[in-house]
Amino acid sequence: MPNPTAAMLVIGDEILSGRTRDSNMHFLAGELAKQGIDLIEARVVGDDRAAIIGAVRALSAAADHVFTSGGIGPTHDDITAECIAAAFDTPIGVREDARRLLADHYAATGRELNEARLRMARIPEGATLIDNPVSIAPGFTLKNVHVMAGVPSVFQAMVASVLPTLTGGAPLLSQSLRINRGEGDIAGPLAALAADFPDLSIGSYPFQQDGAYGANIVIRGTDGARIDAAMTRLAQEFEGAL
């Protein structure tokens, strides 16, 4: 059986403007690989209602799971929750269990649960809450879309809450080999290797360092024996250039 699939939607003008560097996709990809869930697509959209709704609908139809990051805070530009609700034609409003979490948290820290903070308790009807042990304000899951905060520490905590609830497949394994030849010299043998091992992903990543150049060849797959066999042949092919 093929592994389940996932897509990621990163939301925020600050990502597209270059003001903020996204690290959440890198983290999520690694965690999904361990779980045996294949990340097949990632998109970045700004804080635009139509763009978010369109991307959510497309990714939800294309993948078994969708993970979003960003846009669920207390400010006016945090519109992700209402866009997820709109994408699935679902009502949204302040939900009592989410409100209670926030009320208890702000009471304990001596701060007011004002109207802005109460926005973080707006949850689409029928969604389940995603635990947030870092800053309390929950994410949520609606259908196959898992909606999470953009702050990396909170996003990572939410991923840790969600992944154990998902059925995975075979974890992604990988091995790499450095070859001290240019890609033009190794392209032919690599193409032949890829043809003989169609179940594996074989990538070439060139480098140039201190006057030396070559490529790091990375072989990925779910069958360790097949990866070993491909790496053995690769090493034999370029024995004099390692």
pLDDT at position 26 = 97
pLDDT at position 119 = 95
Per-residue pLDDT band for 157 (boundaries 50, 70, 90) equals very high
pLDDT at position 241 = 75
Per-residue pLDDT band for 126 (boundaries 50, 70, 90) equals very high
Mean pLDDT of 124-134: 97
pLDDT at position 212 = 84
Mean pLDDT of the chain: 95
**CATH number assigned to the domain covering 173-241:** 3.30.70
Name beta bridge partners: 6.
39, 65
Give Cα 212 to chain centroid, integer Å: 34
Distance CA 78, CA 49 (A): 10
Distance CA 70, CA 78 (A): 8
Is the pLDDT at 105 greater than 90? The verdict is yes
Q: Tokens 């947030």 sit at which residue? A: 132
Distance CA 195, CA 14 (A): 42
**CATH number assigned to the domain covering 5-165:** 3.40.980.10
Domain ranges for the chain, please list them. Answer: 5-165, 173-241
Distance CA 124, CA 93 (A): 7
Mean pLDDT of 173-191: 94
Mean pLDDT of 129-143: 96
Residue range 142-153, pLDDT digits in tens: 999 999 999 999
pLDDT at position 210 = 80
pLDDT at position 146 = 98
Decide: pTM greater than 0.85: yes
The proportion of the chain whose per-residue pLDDT surpasses 90, expressed as a percent, equals 94
For residue 118, give the 3-state DSSP assignment.
helix
Is the pLDDT at 124 greater than 80? The verdict is yes
Mean pLDDT of 152-161: 97
Report residue 87 as tokens.
Answer: 């994408």
Mean pLDDT of 158-181: 95
Is the pLDDT at 89 greater than 90? The verdict is yes
What are the two backbone dihedrals, phi and then psi, of residue 76, each rounded to the nearest 5 degrees?
Answer: -65, -30
Per-residue pLDDT band for 137 (boundaries 50, 70, 90) equals very high
Name beta bridge partners: 129.
140
pLDDT at position 199 = 95
The proportion of the chain whose per-residue pLDDT surpasses 70, expressed as a percent, equals 100
Count CB neighbours of 35 within 10 A: 20
